[in-house]
Structures are given as structure tokens and as C-alpha cells.
Amino acid sequence: MERFREARVRDPDRVDAYLGEFAAMLAVGRGGEAAADAEAVAERYPDNVEVRVALAQVRLARGDPAGALGALHEAKKQAPQRADVYRLEGDIAVSMEDLDTACQAYQHALALDPKLIDLQYALGQIHERREDWGAAEAAYRAALEALPTYSEAAVALANIFMKRDTPRSAVDLLVDILSVYPSDLDALFALGRALIRDERIEEALQVLHRLVAYDDTNVEALFFMGVGLARRRQFAQAVAAWERVIALEPTSSVAQRARRHIRSATDLRQIFSDEAA
């Protein structure tokens, strides 16, 4: 930041120095502090698209998304073929919970630059929030067609398969992505869940044990490990896994589920003990 500041002090007409300083401040979470300078530079250079984009980013960082959209409106008029401008418009719209505008902006950006594959993923996330599973699946598939090793899209698509009660499709997809990224913790967790749903309990427990070996504080993995152990009627071990969840995050929603499962497992353990007596 200092070198950009020194450059603009030496030459107040160096727009690139201002832009460099704004970008550096945004990168370290201090974009709001650049508001006064960004507004002043935008006044001096009203037709500079890069300045307008920077002003939008600074306004957003300051907590003024409506003002950010106003700055982008001018940038879109000046540079209607700039995909990054529409991408930023979509990001701002998401922050405002304006999902219709976000979808339109991301789709426009993709039409201008199909290489922005992550926007397919962003569209999928928006469709999921709307519970439009078909549109979400299409967006994630498009992302994976463009980049087959896009692990976030693969995990998201696997979760859609789970919502549609097709866990085997989820398993096949996740096995493929884990062959490329064997230590992807999100993919491992999704695979463990999918295997449980597909009634492949032994395989599920192997995957979840592997995940917990990487991260023994992963409460979701511990919870589903307990589910798998309970399916095998190993109720004591299941309860131990759920108690670990409660110890790690006692006030979380997963801990509440663990408490309910502990009560059920205790009852079931008693029932099976009575039957064996």
C-alpha cells in the first residue's frame, strides 16, 4: 500500500496508483477506509471504468451495496462487454439477497466469458437456496463439464443427488473426484453420508474414520460415524461418538441431534439386551 501511496503523492494524476492502493486495501479487509479517496477519484475521472469498478468495491466494503450498484450502473454503460463488471454486480446482488438480479448478472457474465466456470457454481448455489434442484443440478453439471476436477461442484452435485434420493449416483461421482483429490475433506464427508444412505455401512465407516483421522474435531463426521455404528448395533461406540460431538460443540444443532440419537440408542441397546437375555 505504501508504494502506491508514495506514487500518487509524487504524481496526483496517476490513476493506476490510486487503483493499486484501493486493491491492496480491499485485499486486507480495509476497503472501507478508502471511501473518501475513491469518491474523490471517481469525481475527477467519471469516465474511467476501472475507477468505477473500484468505487463499487469500496462502497460494498463500506456496507453500501446500493451505492455500489449505482457505481456499476455507470461502468456497464461505459463498458457493456466487461464480464467482470456483471460478475461484481452479481456478487453485490447476492449480498443484498436479490437473487433474481444475481442470476441475471452471472448469466450475462457467462455469456460474455464462458471461462468463468465458478459462476456456474455460484448459480447452482442460488438455485439451491430457491430449492430449484433441477436448475441447481444443471448448473453444477455445466461446471463439471467445463472442469471435471472442480471438487466443490462435484460435492454440491452429490448433495443434489442425495436430496433426490439417488445416493449411488452421489457415491460414483465422489469416488471419481477423490481419485484426483484423495484428501478433500468435504468430498470424504459427502461420500461417507452417501454410503450410509446407500446402506453400505462398512464402507461408510471406513471413509468416516479416514476423515476423522485428518480432523478429529469434525463434528458432522463424528455424528454420522455414530449413525453408522448404531446401524451395526454397536450402540456403546455410537454413543461415544455422539458424546464427542456434544463435548466439542455443546450448543450446536448437530449436538442437539446427537443428544436425541443418544436417547434412542440407549433405548435400543436396552431392547436388544432384553431380547438376548
CATH of the domain at 68: 1.25.40.10
Asked whether 186 and 151 are in contact (CB, 8 A), the reply is yes
Is residue 1 in a domain? yes
Residue 15 lies in a domain: yes
Q: Considering the domain boundaries, does residue 173 fall inside one?
A: no
Q: Give tens-digit pLDDT for 39-50.
A: 888 888 888 888
Tell me how crowded residue 234 is: count the other CB atoms within 10 A of its CB. Answer: 17
Between 247 and 79, the more confident residue is 247
Tally of CB atoms within 10 A around 85:
24
- Domain residues for 12? 1-79
Do the domain assignments include residue 17?
yes
Question: Tell me: the pLDDT tens digits for 133-168?
Answer: 999 999 999 999 999 999 999 999 999 999 999 999
Report how far residue 113's alpha carbon sits from residue 81's, in angstroms, rounded to the nearest whole number.
9
> What is the C-alpha R_g of the chain?
25
Flag whether 96 is in a domain.
Answer: no
Task: Specify if 67 maps to a domain.
Answer: yes
Mean pLDDT calculated for residue range 212-241: 95
Length reported for the chain: 277
Measured between alpha carbons, how far is 165 from 90 in angstroms, rounded to an integer? 31
Contact of 120 with 110, CB cutoff 8 Å: yes
What are the Cα distances from residue 3, in Å, to 107, 212, 228? 38, 46, 57
Q: Which three cell numbers stand for residue 236?
A: 456403546
Closest CA to 139 of 154, 268, 202: 154
Q: Is 100 among the domain residues?
A: no
Q: Per-residue pLDDT averaged across 3-13, rounded?
A: 56
Q: Into how many domains does the chain fold?
A: 1
Examine residue 32 and state whether it is found in any structural domain, yes or no: yes
Alpha helices in 79-147 (DSSP H): 83-95, 99-112, 118-129, 133-146
Q: What is the pTM of this model?
A: 0.83
Q: How far apart are CA 84 and CA 90, in angstroms?
A: 10
Torsion from C-alpha of 151, 134, 165, 243, nearest 10 degrees: 50
